[in-house]
A and B are shown apart, each in its own frame.
Chain A
Amino acid sequence: MGAHSHKSVNLTDRYVFDGAGQRRVIIGMVVGLAMFALGVILMISGVGMSHDDHGASAGHGTEAHATAGHDAHAAAPADHGKSDAHAEAGHDAKATAGHDAHAAAGHEAAAAHADHHGPTWLTRVYANLWLNSLFFFGIALCGVFFVAINYAAWAGWSAGFIRIPMAFGSYLPVGGAFILAVFLLGHSELFHWTDASLYDKASPNFDPILYGKKAFLNLPFYLSRMVFFIGVWFLLWRMIRALSVKEDAEGGPKVTKFYDKIIVLAAVFIITFAVGTSMMAWDWTMSIDSHWYSTLFGWYHFASWWVSALSTIALTVIYLKEKGHLQHVNENHIHDLGKFMFGFSVFWTYLWFSQFMLIYYANIPEEIAYFYNRIDAWDQHYRLGFFFMLVPNFLFPLLFLMTRASKRSFLLIKIAAFAILGGHYLDFYNMIMPGTAKDLGGFGFTEFGALLFFACLFIYVVSKSVASLPLVPKNHPMLEESIHHDI
């Protein structure tokens, strides 16, 4: 092949997930679990679980709210505080938020129900598990999406490392099982709309808005579409992977029948992905704030997952290269992954800002409630993190990855990928915590422990899958093009 004939590829290149590697990852999981357990024990014993000390301070001590607007609420059993002082402080803080958001939303009659069941340590634990389940499931899913778009677009450049994102799919059943389990166990803690009394016209909790959404937001339909999409994604991934394995064994030069079949499956995957991620974004994340909705939320949610997955792909490829594998993958491929990371960081910001700016500008009460919780509520509990995430998710990738040289440097891509992953974890935290744990949200042992556990679990499952196949799809028709990729 002319000028490039010196480039070659090791077709038998294989990653070995050896005992030492497995032990390290398992130790990580155990440490994560231990931290998680420690955090839970600390929370049960009340450490860091004051319903915000600020709540009792003058700024929030709006007794008028509590008594005037929230009689029913005040009468609710104070089962969520350790002491009376806590319970009162909590009620005050929530009464303020609940009152503002709900009275404004124009259903004063139902205002009291909003906090009939305040967050406890258990809410925070479930919210935390939910957050990690979604985040890592999304990375796995978007890994498969990367495979699908590259096949569907007949992309050549990625063929040399396509087995890496393909391996991400092995986490789909694990992540899917976590999502299902956390939902089944914790839905009453996480999802306000799952409370049956909200749909009972005779109940004081009756909520006309949620009653209007009942056709979509009800447990049977919710669970069935969740199981359907997780199942379809998993099956399509299995079929794509199986064909790729078969191509290794039975394919050869000029044989494209496996490739062509994968393209068809990839197209089907892209369709179910487009519809499914959008719906799962409403279901899994948006329905936490069950009165609120945003028409671009699916995109926004997808962008966060997708850019995290791209960063994870880049990190995995660079890790394998540093271990001496994938020698045919060079700075040209990393450059393209870097462009993806750069571009989709800006894309995420575009959606985040579009959502924020329109709601900020229109200032309609039922819409602004979402941002009120994230910016002002509970004595600005989430404000710092909410605005800070723009740094690792936007400013840093924008300035850091802007030049060509930085996108071609393995070290700089690694730094950017870690920043993006951290930033988008924080983004998911900001999507999930304010609506569930409310003023109890925070970063403690539970959060770091759960993150460590899930990250190690993801690494374990994906490493096993990477090790199960040769790293190079030797009969991939585009492999030659990938080796000669040059930009």
Chain B
Amino acid sequence: MSAATNFLVGVYEDDDVIMQACADIRQQGVKIHEVYSPFPIHGIDPVLGYKRSRLNVAAFMFGITGTIIAFSMQVIMMGYDWPMNIGGKPQVAVPSFVPVSFEMTILMASLGMVFTFLVVSGLGPGARKLVLDPRFSDDKFILAIDVDKNTLSMEDMANLLKRTGATEVSHKEVTA
């Protein structure tokens, strides 16, 4: 058994309240471990200090790889390896290569994005994720603070959570 992680868990009733709470708590110098919500809260990323995802850069890279693979494959096959006369078109008939290149771009970009996302988020078949309070998949908003990573006392932080609108505050020990 590895060391247990101490979490202070605040339960909020409203997305606007938890958003304001995040801003206030971070202003006090307290690091927030994670916020769990039943639906995406627009605008919470900058409040939590998250940097923008670079998934789109990965998608572009995967996509352009797909384009290059598909296009060069067709040029090599149709133009040099096994030239065929199809309807009197030139061997390297670029317009007819576009659909395949397009599809390959989409395929590579989408699969690449999915797998990148799974790897980065530590998701995948059999992955176990921390559920501090199952009600976050119903109607509650959960704010978790990793106690050991903060300097404030547990009591102070619990009061801070209450002051910012948390209806319940509890301490949870999780063994990884």
Inter-subunit contact A487/B42 (CB<8 Å): yes
B126 within 8 A of A: no
B residues near A363, Cβ cutoff 8 Å: 87-88
Inter-subunit contact A3/B16 (CB<8 Å): yes
Bound Cα distance from A292 to B95, whole angstroms: 21
Nearest-CB residue, chain A, relative to B56: A404
Inter-subunit contact A1/B16 (CB<8 Å): yes
Inter-subunit contact B98/A2 (CB<8 Å): no
Chain B positions 3 through 16: 1 when the CB is less than 8 Å from some CB of chain A, otherwise 0: 00000000000111
Nearest-CB residue, chain A, relative to B87: A363
Inter-subunit contact A360/B95 (CB<8 Å): yes
A108 within 8 A of B: no
Q: Is the interface of B mostly helix, strand, loop or mixed?
A: helix
A residues near B89, Cβ cutoff 8 Å: 361
B residues near A356, Cβ cutoff 8 Å: 95
Tell me the chain B residues, 1-44 only, with Cβ under 8 Å from chain A.
14-17, 19-20, 23, 42-43
Q: Is the interface of A mostly helix, strand, loop or mixed?
A: helix
Inter-subunit contact B96/A2 (CB<8 Å): no
Inter-subunit contact A361/B16 (CB<8 Å): no
A357 within 8 A of B: yes
| A376 shortest CB reach to chain B, Å | 15
Inter-subunit contact A357/B88 (CB<8 Å): no
Interface size class of B (residues with CB under 8 A): 20 to 34
Inter-subunit contact A2/B16 (CB<8 Å): yes
Inter-subunit contact A3/B95 (CB<8 Å): no
Chain B positions 90 through 115: 1 when the CB is less than 8 Å from some CB of chain A, otherwise 0: 00000110110000000000000000
Chain B positions 136 through 157: 1 when the CB is less than 8 Å from some CB of chain A, otherwise 0: 0000000000000000000000
| B89 shortest CB reach to chain A, Å | 8
Given A357-B99, A361-B95, A486-B43: A3 in contact with B88 (beta carbons within 8 A):
no
Bound Cα distance from A353 to B97, whole angstroms: 12
Tell me the chain B residues, 58-79 only, with Cβ under 8 Å from chain A.
60
Inter-subunit contact B19/A2 (CB<8 Å): yes
Inter-subunit contact A357/B96 (CB<8 Å): yes
Bound Cα distance from A2 to B12, whole angstroms: 13
B47 within 8 A of A: yes
- Residue from the list B47, B52, B99 in contact with A3, Cβ < 8 A: B47
A residues near B88, Cβ cutoff 8 Å: 363
Inter-subunit contact A3/B87 (CB<8 Å): no
Nearest-CB residue, chain A, relative to B15: A2
A residues near B56, Cβ cutoff 8 Å: 404
Nearest-CB residue, chain A, relative to B97: A357
Nearest-CB residue, chain B, relative to A361: B96
Inter-subunit contact B23/A3 (CB<8 Å): yes
Bound Cα distance from A402 to B56, whole angstroms: 10
| A374 shortest CB reach to chain B, Å | 14
Q: List 7 A-B contacts (CB under 8 A).
A: A2-B15, A2-B17, A4-B43, A353-B98, A356-B95, A360-B96, A363-B88
Beyond the given A361-B87, A361-B95, A361-B96, please list 10 additional residue pairs across the A-B interface where CB-CB is below 8 A: A2-B15, A2-B16, A2-B17, A3-B20, A4-B16, A4-B43, A353-B95, A404-B56, A486-B42, A487-B42
Query: Which A residues have a C-beta under 8 Å from some C-beta of B?
Result: 1-4, 353, 356-357, 360-363, 402, 404, 486-487
